[in-house]
Amino acid sequence: MVQTAIFWPMIGLALVTLVVTLWLVVVRIKVTRSGDVNIDYYTTYQKGTEPDYIIQATRNLTNLFDFPLLFYVACTLSYLTAIVDDTQLYLAWGYVALRAIHSLIHLTYNVVPHRLGVFLISVAVLVALWVRFAMAL
Amino acid sequence: MMQTAIFWPVITMVGLTFVVGLRLAWLRVSGSLKKPGDPKHYNPRNKDEAPVATTNCSDHFKNLFEVPVLFYTLCIVSYLTGNVDYWQLYLAWAFVGFRLLHSSIHLTYNNVLHRFGAFLLAMFALIAMTVRLAIGL
């Protein structure tokens, strides 16, 4: 098994993060130029507010720096200890797919139970990645 | 000294993060079931609308992706550079111990001074680990 294969799902999730970041930059420039949001809002993020769809995107970007950080650590450790096998790789790709769906729901129709369901399954996959790492130590 | 020994405090810290994350999911789900159709429980911007146990848990979950991320990095770099010795290992376990205490305080009686004390002690352990690693490089 080529151990570096585990870096591709990591790159995949980093790309999801990049896409959400760029999307957020684009919509923020758009609403600031149209006058829907005063640019002073971005000084402290306390005065005034943004449209819901931007608040949701901001939340999603923040979320991409919560549990996903543990995903990057799990993948790095799996590589370092050379325990990357097919199962670990499938789990990692599964996690990336679920987080991509999670972001897609959050940025579009945002039905909370759907988002919660995808989130919970992604946490279960992440736990599996960590348990497999711990058992291989 | 088994260099991989440093991964057990890492795994413990990750376990704590899963516990707090799932507790937060549980508090939000049960809180919104009591108030059907009220999405405010999901929005930390409406702090006065969500129960204090939920906002504390939400704040704490965020905290677990601040300083602990430096801890993961330090442990990985200590492993990579062959700097895992008893000192580094004890300090890593001390960090995890104080963070467990910090979490327990934040999620229960939440006395700010006690929480601050546990936070500072964990911080000192982390600083000592950093210095220890820098010396060993």
Architecture of domain B3-136: Up-down Bundle (1.20)
Alpha-carbon span B130 to B135, nearest angstrom: 9
pLDDT above 90 coverage of chain A, percent: 93
Mean pLDDT of A104-112: 93
For B115, how many CA atoms within 13 A lie in the half-sphere containing its CB? 14
Preferred mutation among B2, B3, B6, B10 to probe A, highest tally of A CBs within 10 A: B10
A77 and B14 within 8 Å at the Cβ level: the answer is no
Q: Please indicate if any CB of chain B lies within 8 Å of the CB of A2.
A: no
Q: Please indicate if any CB of chain A lies within 8 Å of the CB of B19.
A: no
Kindly state the DSSP code that residue A47 receives in the 8-state scheme: S
Task: Name the average pLDDT for chain A.
Answer: 96
Q: Supply the pLDDT for residue B58.
A: 93
Q: How many CB pairs under 8 A join A and B?
A: 51
What are the residue boundaries of the structural domains of chain B, listed by start? Answer: 3-136
**B38: nearest CA partner in chain A:** A112
DSSP labels, chain B: --GGGGHHHHHHHHHHHHHHHHHHHHHHHHHHHHSTT-GGGG-TT-TTTS-HHHHHHHHHHHHTTSHHHHHHHHHHHHHHTT---HHHHHHHHHHHHHHHHHHHHHHTT--HHHHHHHHHHHHHHHHHHHHHHHHH-
Q: Supply the pLDDT for residue A1.
A: 81
Contacts of B18 in chain A (CB under 8 A): 123, 126-127, 130
Q: Supply the pLDDT for residue B29.
A: 85
Mean pLDDT of A4-18: 98
Preferred mutation among B8, B11, B41, B84 to probe A, highest tally of A CBs within 10 A: B11
Contact A15, A7 (CB under 8 A): no
CB interface of B with A, residues 78-137, below 8 Å: 79-80
Domain of A24, CATH number, reads 1.20.120
Q: Supply the pLDDT for residue B35.
A: 66
A6: which 2 tokens? 């585990």
Contact A23, A57 (CB under 8 A): yes
Preferred mutation among A62, A73, A132 to probe B, highest tally of B CBs within 10 A: A73
Q: Identify which of B83, B73, B87 has the alpha carbon closest to the alpha carbon of residue B10.
A: B73
Distance from the first to the final alpha carbon of chain A = 18
For chain A, how many structural domains are there in total?
Answer: 1
Domain that holds residue A44: 3-136
CB neighbour burial string for B65-92, b if at least 16 within 10 angstroms, e if fewer: beebeebbebbbebbeeebbeeebbebb
Alpha-carbon span A36 to B108, nearest angstrom: 42
Determine the longest span between alpha carbons in chain B, in angstroms: 57
Q: Supply the pLDDT for residue A73.
A: 98
Q: With a cut of 70, list the residues of chain B below it in pLDDT.
A: 35-49
Give the angle B64-B66-B68 at the CA atoms, nearest 5°: 65
Q: Which of A66, A73, A127 sits opposite B72 (nearest CB)?
A: A73
Q: Supply the pLDDT for residue B76.
A: 97
Which H or E element spans position A9? helix A7-34
**Top-confidence residue, B50 or A63:** A63
**A75: nearest CA partner in chain B:** B76
